[in-house]
Amino acid sequence: MKEKNPRKQIEMTEARRSQLESARAKLAASGKNPRQIGRDARLKVFNWIYHWGYTSSANIQQLLDKTSGGVAQNLTKKGWLVAIKTKSGIPVVTYTLAENGLAEAERYAPELYRYPEIDPYRINQDLIRHYLLAQKITIDAIKSGRIFDYETERMFAVEGDKPGVKRPDIIWITKTGLRIGVEIELSAKWSRDLDEFVHGIKKALQATAEKPAQYSRFIIISDSRAIIERYKKAMSPGTTLNIWKKNERKCWAVDRTIVVPDWLITKVDFQLLEH
């Protein structure tokens, strides 16, 4: 049998003592009792899932600044959340609101949204990695002070899609009121998809005499350097951009070409995620 390391045990005990002291200090500073703090944390989780549809245990842990997991599992055992296995196994499960959790979220929500995930099997399994990553990046941005608030797709598209209107994955809102369209790109776009992506961002950033620009800036985030470089090239000043339109046979065809303006690349940021 392997002997225990007394020094390591002491270090672990000291670390645990430090965590407890930090927790007590935060509790005292909040002016709330443990029950109130637990309720606030629970509502924070419900609100987050209400906005995003579903989440992971890791994102809940990060959202609540927890050093260990177990929050999602406990809320599931108490009937607030529903755990659904993923096809990919990464993560093993995602969490949606149960009927009780949804009722609590709607009770305190300043604005109501549709929540189709009350039937968790309506989740598009192919997009799970994409949306969980979007959540993690957004939590990082909030905690770093980079942004003040956010809007998810269901929050800013309550009236449905409109023709020719660019709808980003997320909107980030800064303390100064800037609205930043965020695109999470994990696979490459080609041909018409790439042209329409670039053209949509251009239109969303361009003010007209009739209306201001939809967004202050855009940020394109990817874990692929090649995808980042592809978008930079497509948005470079002077690059030819095809404008597509359905012809008389109802097939997509190039209608005309324009030149990417010099200002576009100055209003788009690119972020490469580290593996």
pLDDT along the chain (275 residues), means of 10: 57 60 58 74 96 97 88 96 95 97 96 95 94 97 96 78 74 96 95 95 92 95 96 96 93 95 97 87
Residue 180: predicted pLDDT: 97
The beta strand positions in the chain, using DSSP E, are: 81-85, 93-97, 149-152, 170-173, 179-184, 217-222, 240-246, 252-259, 268-272
Residue 244: predicted pLDDT: 95
Give this prediction's pTM. Answer: 0.84
Residue 16: predicted pLDDT: 57
Alpha-carbon gap, residue 8 to 5, rounded angstroms: 5
Residue 160: predicted pLDDT: 46
Residue 125: predicted pLDDT: 94
Backbone angles phi, psi at 217, to 5 degrees: -150, 170
Alpha-carbon gap, residue 153 to 201, rounded angstroms: 16
Residue 164: predicted pLDDT: 57
How many other C-beta atoms are found inside a 10 Å radius of the C-beta of residue 26?
A: 12
Domains of the chain (ranges; CATH) run: 147-275 (3.40.1560)
Residue 69: predicted pLDDT: 79
Contact 68, 74 (CB under 8 A): no
